[in-house]
Structure 1
Amino acid sequence: MTTSFQGGAAGATLAGCAALLLWAFLALLARLAQPLPPLLLTGLAFAVGGLLGLGVVAARGRLGRLRQPWPVWLHGVGGLAGYHALYFAALALAPPVEANLLNYMWPLLIVLLSGPIRGLHLGPRRLAGVGLGAVSAVLLLAGGGQGFGGGSLAGYAAAAGAAVTWALYSVLAGTPRLAGVPTEAVAGFCLASAAVALGLHALVEPAAWPAAAQWPAILLLGAGPVGAAFFLWDVGMKRGDPRLLGTLAYATPVASTLLLVVAGEGRLSGTVLLAALLVVGGGALAATAPAEAGR
């Protein structure tokens, strides 16, 4: 089954690039929506993104493509809702710049997990790239400069969990069982993720509701990084050039971090700058490794 949201390979690659651009704003918009509980923010953002996506799918007369077997729903909802709940928790519990960069270990983890899950050869260059990313994580945890106490520790753990969750979601999406799922199904995944997150919010988080000043950030989150970006990424990964998209993905943490700094949500210390360079360098090294086995 193919997706009708895609054009040619070049257009699909541009769609993936647009998703990366939208994700650069994810951390900043999430911080601007604070101090909402993470599950509430996740649910509201997904509700906005899901409703917008559903409107597009309905207008095209393709609501039937939302019917998918339960493993597809488990993958889609678990990946989308799980990642964003962990990511928003990390931004709320840890210094945002450090947590954001630790979360952006997911491009390197995608490279690492592609071996056992997709049967792709890694080779020394890709493994070296993963190693540089690991060093950046150690630097952030050891030298963040804003404390490594109980709250920060939980935030860093949530950021690491978010990275693992998104890497698994992305790698599994390219397996034979999931590669043919149409992009229209993403609208359903977003709405189901909203229901799961809001239900968990009612059970485990204190009751809360956004103030008027927080709604613009929530609406922008749902329309962009927690909405359109998923549709664009799905098109890019299935029909575009994954090598180019994989390389460009490592620029996203730098852009995201700079946006946080410019907005006054963090500071660009020497440790943070070095960690960002290691993430980008390691990712570029891994993404540009030869495709042949063993090299």
Structure 2
Amino acid sequence: MTRMQATAIGFVAVLLWALLALFTVGTEPTPPFLLNTVCFLIGGVCGLVWTAATGSLGKLRSVPWTVYLMGTAGLFGYHALYFSALRLAPAAEAGLIAYLWPLLIVVFSGLLPGERVRGGHLAGAATGFAGAALIISGGSTGFQPQYAAGYGIAFLCALTWSSYSVLSRRAGDAPTATVAVFCLAAACLSLPLHLLFEETVWPVGAQGWMSLALLGLGPVGLAFFVWDIGVKRGDIQLLGTASYAAPLLSTLVLVGAGVAAPSPSLAISALLITGGAVIAARASLKRPS
């Protein structure tokens, strides 16, 4: 597998995450930790079945416990914060603040051995961030003081996921099958917190249950496996910058579903985000392979 093939595989996760906000809203009024429990259980069981089918279960025993700790903290922490943010602030604004993680990945990747952050990477990431920020400021509601807690939690999402992604690169020898264990461990952590702090409320109607199933199969399932391949074997700076397509796509999906109102700033945001990805790609092409 080449570096660019791995980057393309990683980008599949971005396409799946564009549906995260929509499916999360569709599961209302199910509380965050219950969502975590069910979705991670679906993703983890599917991943474990795939691991067994490919004969890779034995490889999991040789993985250091620190890798399992890092992965579990990343998956559990990010999504617990993400689901909470979407309950405490409007879906479009909270989701887009959470998508600060691509810019942080580009910045943090400079700490990795053998990686170099070029000016083009930073310029591309900053341009993409400008596009995302324009969507936020041009949204149907904009920032409102009563949602400050939700905005703060959404920023912690960005910090958590960017840290997890960069640390995954450092644990590059660990097989992608470990993601199944991360998911199952995150489900086990979420269940007692749900029982302690939340009331059990399930999705409403067939549409709510369908949203829950799709959430576990895609954005909180398959996405983690392809993302693991991308950040470990692909161009992490380019992948981070290209990930700014997710907030744009996420907002377009919310608009199409009637959850968020359309805004003229979306077109300008699309140009900025696309331009940022192009700038970062040019910087990546200049690096020695």
Bin of the TM-score, shorter chain as denominator length: 0.7 to 0.9
2: CA distance, partners of 1:86 / 1:288: 34
Give the secondary-structure state (helix, strand or coil) at the position aligned to 2:218: helix
Match of 1:37 in 2: 31
Give the secondary-structure state (helix, strand or coil) at the position aligned to 1:174: helix
Q: How many residues align?
A: 285
Is 2:100 aligned against 1:105?
A: yes
Judge conservation of contact 1:62–1:184 (CA < 8 Å) in 2: yes
Match of 1:249 in 2: 243
Of residues 60, 63, 71, the one that matches 2:57 is 63
Question: Cα deviations across residues 249-295 of structure 1 (Å, max 9, x unaligned)?
Answer: 222221121011000010122456655654554455345435779xx
- Structure 1 284/267 Cα, relative in aligned 2: closer, same or farther at 3 Å? farther
2: CA distance, partners of 1:217 / 1:192: 22
Give the secondary-structure state (helix, strand or coil) at the position aligned to 2:200: coil
Pairs within 5 Å for 1:22-171? 22-67=16-61, 68-118=63-113, 120-132=115-127, 135=130, 144=139, 146=141, 148-149=143-144, 151-171=146-166
- Structure 1 123/27 Cα, relative in aligned 2: closer, same or farther at 3 Å? same
Of residues 184, 193, 196, the one that matches 2:189 is 196
For 1:223, give the aligned amino acid.
L
Match of 2:222 in 1: 228
Match of 2:252 in 1: 258
**Deviation (angstroms), 1:204:** 2.3
The gaps in structure 1 that reach 5 residues or longer are 1-6
Question: Cα deviations across residues 61-103 of structure 1 (Å, max 9, x unaligned)?
Answer: 3222333322111210111111111112222221212222222
1: CA distance, partners of 2:215 / 2:268: 29
Is 2:201 aligned against 1:208?
A: yes
- Structure 1 279/14 Cα, relative in aligned 2: closer, same or farther at 3 Å? closer
TM-score, normalised with respect to structure 2 = 0.85
- Structure 1 92/59 Cα, relative in aligned 2: closer, same or farther at 3 Å? same
2: CA distance, partners of 1:31 / 1:225: 13
Judge conservation of contact 1:250–1:284 (CA < 8 Å) in 2: no
Match of 1:181 in 2: 174
**Deviation (angstroms), 1:135:** 5.0
Give the superposed CA RMSD: 2.8
Judge conservation of contact 1:108–1:129 (CA < 8 Å) in 2: no
Judge conservation of contact 1:133–1:278 (CA < 8 Å) in 2: yes
Judge conservation of contact 2:248–2:266 (CA < 8 Å) in 1: no
How many percent identity over aligned positions? 49
Judge conservation of contact 1:118–1:171 (CA < 8 Å) in 2: no
For 1:113, give the aligned amino acid.
F
- Structure 1 160/270 Cα, relative in aligned 2: closer, same or farther at 3 Å? farther
Moved more, 112-121 or 80-89: 112-121
Judge conservation of contact 1:100–1:253 (CA < 8 Å) in 2: yes
